[in-house]
Amino acid sequence: MIWQDRYGPVSLTEKGSKYAANVFKRHQVIRCFLEEILQVDTKTAEKEACILEHVLSDQTYHKISNMLQKNGVYREKAGD
């Protein structure tokens, strides 16, 4: 997932890039849920989204994402 020449720059493989993009998307959705639905302050929502993005089940994540999209709170950007 990560590739590096000895002492050279680090780059992500295609698989690593996809994984990173997925984690970033999860973070955005969870942060949105915490801020917009639960009214958690921005600093706390950011901190807790960093934790939850890694441990939230796919089922729960998808239910949150679908609920936010259905209610017009969160919209996926093209390519997400």
What dotted CATH number matches 15-70?
1.10.60.10
Contact 40, 52 (CB under 8 A): no
What pLDDT is recorded for position 4?
65
Residue 76 has a pLDDT of 75
- Per-residue confidence band for 77, with pLDDT thresholds at 50, 70 and 90: low
Q: What is the pLDDT of residues 8-57, one digit of tens each?
A: 788 888 998 999 999 999 999 999 999 999 999 999 999 999 999 999 99
The reported pLDDT for the residue numbered 10 is 82
CA terminus-to-terminus distance, the chain: 20
Domain boundary assignment for the chain: 15-70
Mean pLDDT of 55-72: 96
Q: Which two tokens stand for residue 61?
A: 């994540």
pLDDT value, residue 5:
74
d(CA 62, CA 36): 17
State residue 3 phi and psi, 5-degree precision: -130, 140
